Amino acid sequence: MFPQPLSPSPSQAHRVPPGSAKRRSPCPIHWIALTCLGFLATSARAGDWPGWRGVHRDGHLDREKLPVRLETAPQVLWRKSIGHGYAAPAAAGDTVVVLDDANGRETAHLLSTKTGTEVWTEPYHETYSDEFEPGPRCTPLIDGDRLYVQSCRGEFRCLNLADGKTRWRFHFADYGAFWVSEKGSPIGAANRRGHSGSPVISGDRIFVQVGSTNGASIAAFDKLSGRLLWKSQNDLTCYSSLNSGTLGGIPQVVGATCDGLLGLASADGVLLWRVPFKTGANRNVLTPILDGNTVTFGSYTTGLRRARIESSIAPQKPTDEWFNRDLKINLSTPTLAGEYFYGLGSDTMKSLMCVDRRTGKIAWTQPGFDAVASVVTDGERLLVLNDRGECLLLAADPNAFRELGRFQACGKTFVHPAFSNGILYVRDQRELIAYSLKH
């Protein structure tokens, strides 16, 4: 039997009215405090990979290096049989977390990084399934002694990392989110196909895409107690994960919804800016990439776009730096290394690409790829996992595609890998595998 709700009643929450950009901007002192807290986005140690795309959600290793060369058969540390699911693994310290479908329940497993031995297992919600098969799709998030998990149908839990017990929880329906049972419905995206976007932490708060049209598209909670801090906007949720950073001197959470891209003040959820756009089937998947005062984002309908947001006064006004409508990327968020993005091109290209972040122009393309290519980098080299389960090591070279080795890491996979303390974690739909790739 699951624990009773420990989060506050939705009626206790402060509601930020839709289109509230005309409200007085947040207090500058509060901005400064949140900016400082932003450096403590997660309680990560050097080498940790605590959640979606690493410590800073950018695919970068944290104070460690990729190998100079890649062996054709690197050392396998261990293999762990798991159930179906698309959630990426997360690793911190001597533990790694993987989510799967176990006996019809979305389930979290905490494993030893040294042996793969299971420390505990905890089911947290019933499994959602469609033609892509059952299992969790939202990457877990480790922060200090806590683990945050989210189910496809909107169950959100904060668990003890030590034993998997629930600290606090809520369900998206508590804030007015609804579920559409007809998968072919034109309404929404995540509310008919499963919630896939991962939450993000900044300082003492965690931001979650609830996807409610009742003023709770995105909500902020105290990460320790689960107390609702604010809720904002009426957008339905797509499949993209949130990001958090400072644009124009204002700390904010940035997210793609079914209606476009937006930035909300971290302090109180005030709408700072919005870039409206609509896509076919509301299928926005890419994670917004924050770089200085710019945001790069896109979809398989609109193409890849980079906007600059410099004003320090709310509301802020985004201005386009470039818009490459030919780069209609579907599933894989590009990774920035130096002055260039590296990642999968459009579905029609079937190629890995290198794109100049200053102009949006393609520097080179390499054929031989398909639907997914996840890119991890240390700034000098790139580790690429494709959907065939091949792992490639490349030079981060804008002049040419330069391969430094490859090996068959797993079976067919759409899941982003994790890299922590010299260990590469990859999963397919049968097992999680740990490889030693120490520099």
Q: Locate tokens 């989210």: which residue? A: 150
For 261-293, the pLDDT digits (tens) are 999 999 999 999 999 988 877 878 999 999 999
Counting Cα atoms < 13 Å in the Cβ hemisphere of 47 gives 15
| pLDDT, mean of residues 182-189 | 78
- 22 pLDDT band, cuts 50/70/90, is very low
For 406-437, the pLDDT digits (tens) are 999 999 999 999 999 999 999 999 999 999 99
Please state, as a whole number, how many other Cβ atoms lie within 10 Å of the Cβ of residue 394: 25
The per-residue pLDDT for 35 is 40
The per-residue pLDDT for 257 is 94
Nearest CA to 218 out of 253, 170, 191, 267 is that of 253
d(CA 268, CA 21): 12
d(CA 335, CA 157): 29
Output the CA angle 34-36-38, nearest 5 degrees: 70
Please state, as a whole number, how many other Cβ atoms lie within 10 Å of the Cβ of residue 399: 9
Q: Which tokens in the block code for residue 166?
A: 């629930």
| pLDDT, mean of residues 98-108 | 97
Contact between residue 376 and residue 335 where contact means Cβ atoms under 8 Å apart: yes
Contact between residue 189 and residue 240 where contact means Cβ atoms under 8 Å apart: no
Radius of gyration of the chain from Cα atoms?
20
The per-residue pLDDT for 43 is 61
For 286-345, the pLDDT digits (tens) are 999 999 999 999 998 889 999 999 999 999 999 999 999 999 999 999 999 999 999 999
pLDDT at 162 over 80: yes
Output the CA angle 75-80-81, nearest 5 degrees: 135
pLDDT at 15 over 60: no
The per-residue pLDDT for 337 is 98
| pLDDT, mean of residues 226-246 | 96
For 41-97, the pLDDT digits (tens) are 456 688 999 999 999 999 999 999 999 999 999 999 999 999 999 999 999 999 999
- List the domain boundaries for the chain: 15-325
Cβ contacts of 306-311, under 8 Å, gap ≥ 24: 306/357, 306/360, 307/261, 307/275, 309/247, 309/248, 309/263, 309/272, 309/273, 310/247, 310/248, 311/248
pLDDT at 405 over 70: yes
pLDDT at 6 over 60: no
Q: Which of 3-12, 229-238, 370-379 has the lowest mean pLDDT?
A: 3-12
pLDDT at 259 over 80: yes
Output the CA angle 178-207-308, nearest 5 degrees: 110
Counting Cα atoms < 13 Å in the Cβ hemisphere of 232 gives 30
Q: What is the DSSP string of 279-314?
A: -GGG---PPPEEETTEEEEEETTTEEEEEE---SSS
pLDDT at 183 over 80: no
Spacing of C-alpha 345 from chain mean position: 19
- 349 pLDDT band, cuts 50/70/90, is confident
Output the CA angle 262-264-265, nearest 5 degrees: 155
Q: What is the DSSP string of 25-76?
A: PPPHHHHHHHHHHHTTSS-PPTT-B-STTTTTTSSB-SS----SS--SSPPE
Q: Considering the chain, what is the average pLDDT of its residues?
A: 89
CATH code of the domain occupying 15-325: 2.40.128.630
Distances (CA, A) of 160 to 92, 131, 183, 276: 14, 33, 34, 39
- 150 pLDDT band, cuts 50/70/90, is very high
Please state, as a whole number, how many other Cβ atoms lie within 10 Å of the Cβ of residue 392: 23
How many percent of the chain have pLDDT more than 70? 90
Nearest CA to 162 out of 150, 141, 149, 146 is that of 146
